[in-house]
Every structure is written in C-alpha cells, then in structure tokens.
C-alpha cells in the first residue's frame, strides 16, 4: 500500500471552474486511490458538484474561500488578496498540509504567489517553469518557459539539474540527455553566458548526459530529452512550435473538406489520423510546473477539460510520489556551486606540452 | 523598358554547385530579361554548363576564380582567401560592378565577408539577417535571424525600419504591420530593452503600423507582417517552427502509408494536399537576406534546387529594382537617432491633471 499524499487544489482557477476541476478530480481520484485532495473555493458552488461526483467527493476535503483570482488580475493585486482560493491552496503547501498544489488559474499570479509564499529551495537561485512537449522521438522537457526573462550561467545550470530530475520523475527516464538551446551546435556559437554554462555542465555529474548545444529544430526532432534555455527564448520557442502545429492542423482541416473526393479520402484516413491526433492532444501535455520551490506547483491550462485537468494532477502526483524536491537537493549537492569561478578552479592545471 | 541590373553570383557556393547555380540562372534569366549576372567561379566547370544553358549563357558574364569556400571553413579563414568565388562576388558589389550578390555558400563566411567588404549602410549600427516564412495570413518577414546574438534598443528599432522596407519591396505591401517578439502581449512584459524599443517605435513614423508585442504563436498566425526580434530568439524561433512543420509532415507521411485504406484515402486527398505542399514548399521561402549593407546580399539555402536558387535571385532582384537601400536611408532619416534618450526628449511634458 502506498502512503497517502495530499494535493491542494485551487477550486476556482480556470475558465470552466469549478466544474472542470471537480470533473478532473473524479478521474484523478480513480487513478490515484491513495491521494487526498484539499480543495479550496466557493463552498456553495463546490459542495453540490462534489456530491454529484462520488469518487471525487470521497477523496476531497473542501475548505471555503471567499475570493477567487481573475485571469486579468495583476500579481501584485493577487498578492494582497489573502483569502483567494489560489492563495489558500498555496498556503496549504507552505503550511505542510499538502505536498503540492494544482491550479488552472492566472499564471502570473500563481508564479508570484508560489514563489513568495513557498520560497525557493535552498541552493536554487531562481525557480523555473517547465513543460513537456511532443517530439519525433518521444516527449521532451523544456525549461525555462518564462519565469526568468534574463538568466545567468548559474540559472541555466540549475535549470539543467532540475530538468534532469523532472525527466527522471515524470517521464521515467533513467539517464535523460540534456541540450542547451543555442543558434548553432558548434562550441563557439552563442554568447559567453551560454558557453560557460555548457562548460560547467560538461564538467559536472551531468556531463555524460550532456549532449551540448542544440538548435530550434532539435526540439521537435527530440535530439535530447531535456532542452535548457532562458525564459525568454523558451517561452518564444514553445509558443512558436505550438503555433506552427496549430496552423498545420487548420490547413489540414481545410484540405479534408475541400472537395467531395477529399472528404471521402479523409473518411478512409480517419482511423490512421487518430494516432496523430492523440499524439498532439494538448491534454496529454497539460501541466506546466514551477520547479525549485519548497513544494510542487503545477499549472493546468486555463481552458482545459476534465481529462486535461486530471493530467495536471498526474504530473503533480508523479513529482510528489517520486520525491522530486529531495532529488533536486541531491542533484544540487553533486553539482556544487555552479559559478564560472568554481568551474575554473575545478579545472586541472594545464600540463606542459 | 526596365534598366539593366547586374547581380554577382557565387558560382561555387552550395551543395550542388555549380550545376544548380547555372540551372537556377537559366530560370532567372527568363524571369528577369533585363538582368545581367556576373558569375564568379571555376571557369573549366562553369563554361560548359553555361554553353548548355542558352538563356543563362546569354545573360552571364563569367569570371574565373581559383578558389572556393567550403561549408566547414571558418569565417576568419574565408576572410584570408581573397580569390574565392564568394569573396570576388562580394568584391564586385563593393566595386560597383553589381548591385547585389547571391550565394548558396557558407552562411557564416557570407555574413562576415559581406559585412567587412561592403561595409554597413550609413546610420545602421548592425546589419541583420531576414527571411520570409509562411503563416496563416500570408507571408511574414522575420528578423534578425542570427547575425546579432545580443541586441540593444537601437538595433531592434533599426531592424523594424529594415523589416518594414523589406516587406514593402519584396512582399509588395503598402503598410506592413510590425510586431516586436516578446513573452506576452501586455505592455509590461519582457525586459527594459524590448519595452524601450516598443516606446521608440510607437512614437516614430512607424507608429501607425506598429502592432506592439507579439508572441511565438503569432508568427504562424500571421498576426503581423513583420516580426522583429534579436538574432538569438529569431534564430531559435525560425528553426523551432520549421522543425515543428517538418515533424508534422513526417507524421502525416507515416499516416498516409499506414494501411491499405489510408493509402487509398491519400490518393483521393492528393490533389487537395497539393495546395498545402505548395504553401509549405521551402523553395518558395529560399533566400535569406543580409539587410543594412552597402549592397544587396541574398543567401540561398545550400541544398536547394534550381527553382529554389531562382527564387533567391527573385528576392535579390526585387530588392535591387525597388531600390531597397535608398528606402532604408529614407526610413532611417525619418526615425532619427533611435536612442531611448532621444525618445525621452521627444516626449511631451506631462500636463498638469
């Protein structure tokens, strides 16, 4: 029997809350029988939903919160609102009542609140946002996706440590390969910062897994299991790739309805297309995570459905059950202080020729 | 009757040179009857090809060069080799013999040589690399694509000026819309540098065309006609989008051959898929340009075919015929010194409330 884990859940976050949240928990409760869910939100709306969803109802402890954070609310305003469902769900993790939190609410507010309330893990300079994307060779972990617009060498190295552990705990890989996103794969490409980060990684315990620099096209190709980059580039790259796939899907839909024979062709292809559709299903990739905090934080897409929300819960459970944060601590201890100075000191003296 | 323009052509650049170069010029000579081509390269190999391609033969002046720059050659080595076909093609523009140069050779060498030999246009701090990409609403101009890894406010503003003129001259738009690539569309997103660039553009003659910040998914959506960003982000974004489209194409090919009924469906769909294929045809997007130099520089993809090479010549001709560089000068004169200080000085004093 597995130990019971508790996740706190922002009952009011997302475009279709609280309905989708409860419907998602109904699926999650079946998948994770040992899990408990502490749901924060408007009791008057949540109680009837929980009564109607038996599995969720049995796994949930409901706690009323008078406020909710809207999608348009600025993080500073969200921070002042101490009785929102999101804030109280985060407080539950900080207070030790839950191991992690899942919210489909306002991303900026979730980032800011969880950083300030939970605090950064000892040894981590800046938390990062990570997600899983599809590739030609299986799922790929990307980070940072926008939590840190400007990053230094230390940040990039820490992202690699966290990305490695995330790929082990959530993708179940034993030795994920790591790539540092750059404008070319040659060692001299990119700026000083990125070249130094590559040097540190090459010399670290992650060296055997470190593939070196990768380029934009390596994301979809799946050249490495983990793609490390700063939050500006990562955010742009993820959205650019999603945009390209979406455009191609739209064009295909037009093609499939463009003539009678095309419609017939589509009917014949439909069973085979199903695999492609499943592979690209955004619900399978739902659940961006904030890594590097004292607790697990998973952000579900605001517009997802019950299945997508349940997937975000899966991600949180994987991280909690596989002791994500303890393994981050172990990884950090092995890499030591990841500064260029430390790296230079660790280099052997140049031998006489 | 149009005036005669001369382009110099690196006869030895590209994976299939000189064959594809001459075959491409055969197509280009028909499309641009007023154009002359000064082809630099190995006479022993080029002369028989030109004899076999009548239109190209009639439009070309051949000049022998003893050397060629390989794909692996470092820019510094390329710079020392003064008798390469690429170098002498660039020299021909610098010497006034040709208005522009087309090469399918080593990108890094072409960037470095053309910058050093042709020199930057007066008023331009840093040249940029631009290309055209497909989108859901027509072609989109993106720059910078890797010529400048780190950019300041002035660079980004100059890229916008050059991207505007490029979209007018090559896409034929009268008032192209401009977007600055960022991690969110709200005014407070991104770093100081990008927010200041947005302020300068908003106040400039480009203000009415300036859409503000755009995100990664706006590239494929075609939200704006021109996407302005630094060379690091632009390079990663372009390659990420290309990679995603390529992956989806591979997956579709698998689907189309996955069963007998899928194969039959594909046969029925094929005529309708042709439009999609044409739209994504990389040859239609062949021809990255270096903007901001004293002369037109077009880089053809090294692995393209004759049709793709001819398209790169089209791009060069569009820029030459529509006086690209004169219009850049006009744009720069209108924007003035694009520094944050100048922008601040141009702001009206705050009126009392």
Average pLDDT over residues A317-333: 91
Between the CA of residue B129 and those of A53, B10, B110, B112, B229, what are the distances in Å? 57, 19, 11, 12, 11
C-beta atoms surrounding B194 within 10 Å: 24
pLDDT of residue A232: 95
Instruction: Assign B350 a pLDDT band (cuts: 50, 70, 90).
Output: very low
Q: How far is B336 from chain A (nearest CA, A)?
A: 29
Residue B161 lies in a domain: yes
B71 touches chain A (CB under 8 A): no
Instruction: Assign A187 a pLDDT band (cuts: 50, 70, 90).
Output: confident
Q: Closest partner residue to A248 among B218, B248, B272, by Cβ?
A: B248
B259 touches chain A (CB under 8 A): yes
The pLDDT tens digits of the residues spanning B181-199 come to 999 877 777 889 999 999 9
Residue A60 lies in a domain: no
Domain span at A197: 134-284+323-345
Q: Closest partner residue to B239 among A217, A229, A255, by Cβ?
A: A217
pLDDT of residue A85: 98
> What is the rounded distance in angstroms from the CA atom of residue A66 to the CA atom of residue A306?
24
Q: Which residues of B touch A275 (CB under 8 A)?
A: 255, 258
pLDDT of residue B337: 60
Statement: residue B1 has pLDDT above 50: no
Residue B120 lies in a domain: no
Q: Which residues pair with B129 in a beta bridge?
A: B290
Q: Which residues pair with B41 in a beta bridge?
A: B64
Q: Which residues of B touch A248 (CB under 8 A)?
A: 244-245, 248
User: How confident is the prediction for chain A on average, in pLDDT?
Assistant: 91
The pLDDT tens digits of the residues spanning A37-56 come to 999 999 999 999 999 999 99
Q: What pairing do the DSSP bridges indicate for beta strands B35-41 and A178-181? A: unpaired
Residue B47 lies in a domain: no
Q: How far is B47 from chain A (nearest CA, A)?
A: 36
Domain of B142: which CATH number? Answer: 3.40.718.10
Statement: residue A342 has pLDDT above 50: no
CB-CB under 8 Å, A265 with B265: yes
Average pLDDT over residues A325-330: 90
Phi, psi of B38 (to 5 degrees): -95, 105
Q: How far is A259 from chain B (nearest CA, A)?
A: 8
Instruction: Assign A337 a pLDDT band (cuts: 50, 70, 90).
Output: low
pLDDT of residue B3: 56
pLDDT of residue B286: 87
Asked if B179 and B213 count as a contact pair (C-beta separation under 8 A), the reply is yes
pLDDT of residue B28: 97
Q: Which residues of B touch A146 (CB under 8 A)?
A: 183-184
Q: How far is A237 from chain B (nearest CA, A)?
A: 5
In whole angstroms, how large is the CA radius of gyration of chain B?
Answer: 22
CB-CB under 8 Å, A265 with B267: yes
Mutate to test the interface with A, among B151, B224, B231, B269 (most CBs of A within 10 A): B269
> What is the rounded distance in angstroms from the CA atom of residue B283 to the CA atom of residue B21?
14
For chain B, percent of residues with pLDDT exceeding 70: 94
Average pLDDT over residues B45-54: 97
CB-CB under 8 Å, B183 with A236: yes
Provide the domain count of chain B.
1
B181 touches chain A (CB under 8 A): yes
The pLDDT tens digits of the residues spanning A18-35 come to 999 999 999 999 999 999
CB-CB under 8 Å, B229 with A236: yes
Asked if B140 and B157 count as a contact pair (C-beta separation under 8 A), the reply is no
Interface of A with B in 280-309 (CB under 8 A): none
> What is the rounded distance in angstroms from the CA atom of residue B24 to the CA atom of residue B44?
19
The pLDDT tens digits of the residues spanning B251-269 come to 999 999 999 999 999 999 9
pLDDT of residue B9: 98
Instruction: Assign A4 a pLDDT band (cuts: 50, 70, 90).
Output: confident
The pLDDT tens digits of the residues spanning A250-262 come to 999 999 999 999 9
CB-CB under 8 Å, B237 with A243: no
Residue A95 lies in a domain: no
Statement: residue A213 has pLDDT above 90: yes
Residue A78 lies in a domain: no
CB-CB under 8 Å, A216 with B238: yes
Any idea what DSSP says for residue B84? B
Statement: residue B4 has pLDDT above 90: no
Question: Is ipTM beyond 0.95?
Answer: no
Going through chain A in order, the beta strands assigned E by DSSP cover 5-10, 35-41, 60-64, 100-103, 128-133, 140-143, 178-181, 210-214, 226-228, 288-291, 296-299
pLDDT of residue A341: 47
Q: Which of B8, B5, B28 is nearest to B307 (CA)?
A: B28
pLDDT of residue B2: 46
pLDDT of residue A200: 96
CB-CB under 8 Å, A216 with B237: yes
Q: What SS3 state is found at B130?
A: strand
Q: Closest partner residue to A183 among B146, B183, B279, by Cβ?
A: B146
Statement: residue B209 has pLDDT above 70: yes
Residue B80 lies in a domain: no
Q: Which residues of A touch B250 (CB under 8 A)?
A: 136
Statement: residue B346 has pLDDT above 80: no
Average pLDDT over residues A168-184: 94
The pLDDT tens digits of the residues spanning A298-307 come to 999 999 999 9
The pLDDT tens digits of the residues spanning A263-296 come to 999 999 999 999 888 888 888 888 899 999 999 9
The pLDDT tens digits of the residues spanning A99-155 come to 999 999 999 999 999 999 999 999 899 999 999 999 999 999 999 999 999 999 999
Encode A163-172: b = buried (16+ Cβ within 10 Å), e = exposed. bbbbbbbbbe
Asked if B109 and B194 count as a contact pair (C-beta separation under 8 A), the reply is no
pLDDT of residue A3: 56
For chain A, percent of residues with pLDDT exceeding 70: 94
Interface A-B: count of C-beta contacts within 8 A: 187
Q: How far is A28 from chain B (nearest CA, A)?
A: 31
Q: How far is B274 from chain A (nearest CA, A)?
A: 9
Instruction: Assign A189 a pLDDT band (cuts: 50, 70, 90).
Output: confident
The pLDDT tens digits of the residues spanning B124-148 come to 999 999 999 999 999 999 999 999 9
Asked if A167 and A176 count as a contact pair (C-beta separation under 8 A), the reply is yes
Instruction: Assign A2 a pLDDT band (cuts: 50, 70, 90).
Output: very low
Closest-CA residue of chain A to B223? A243
Q: Closest partner residue to A183 among B229, B236, B243, by Cβ?
A: B236
Q: Closest partner residue to A245 among B218, B231, B244, by Cβ?
A: B244
Q: Which residues of B touch A267 (CB under 8 A)?
A: 265
B75 touches chain A (CB under 8 A): no
Residue B41 lies in a domain: no
């Amino acid at each position: 029997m597995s130990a019971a884990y508790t996740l706190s859940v922002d009952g009011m976050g997302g475009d279709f809350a609280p309905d989708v949240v409860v419907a998602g928990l109904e699926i999650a409760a079946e998948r994770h029988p040992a899990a408990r869910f502490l749901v924060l939100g408007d009791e008057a709306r949540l109680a009837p939903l929980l009564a109607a969803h038996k599995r969720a109802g049995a796994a949930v402890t409901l706690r009323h919160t008078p406020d909710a954070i809207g999608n348009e609310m600025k993080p500073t305003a969200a921070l002042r609102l101490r009785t929102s469902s999101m804030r109280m769900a985060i407080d539950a993790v900080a207070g030790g009542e839950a191991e992690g939190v899942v919210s489909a609410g306002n991303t900026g507010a979730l980032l800011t609140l969880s950083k300030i309330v939970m605090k950064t893990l000892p040894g981590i300079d800046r938390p990062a946002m990570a997600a899983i994307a599809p590739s030609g060779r299986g799922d790929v972990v990307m980070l940072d996706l926008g939590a840190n617009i400007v990053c230094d060498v230390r940040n990039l190295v820490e992202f690699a440590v966290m990305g490695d552990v995330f790929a082990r705990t959530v993708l179940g890989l034993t030795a994920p390969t790591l790539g540092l996103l750059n404008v070319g794969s040659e060692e001299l490409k990119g700026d000083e910062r990125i070249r130094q980060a590559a040097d540190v990684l090459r010399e670290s315990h992650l060296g055997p897994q470190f593939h070196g620099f990768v380029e934009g096209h390596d994301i979809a190709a799946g050249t490495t299991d983990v793609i490390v980059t700063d939050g500006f580039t990562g955010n742009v790259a993820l959205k650019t790739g999603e945009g390209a796939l979406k455009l191609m899907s739209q064009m295909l839909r037009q093609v499939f309805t463009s003539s009678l024979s095309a419609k017939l062709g589509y009917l014949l292809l439909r069973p085979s297309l199903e695999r492609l559709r499943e592979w690209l299903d955004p619900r399978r990739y739902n659940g961006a995570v904030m890594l590097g905090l004292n607790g697990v934080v998973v952000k579900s897409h605001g517009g997802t459905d019950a299945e997508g929300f349940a997937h975000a819960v899966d991600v949180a459970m994987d991280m909690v059950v596989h002791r994500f944060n303890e393994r981050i601590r172990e990884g950090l201890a092995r890499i030591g202080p990841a500064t260029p100075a430390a790296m230079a000191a660790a280099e052997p003296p140049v031998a006489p020729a």
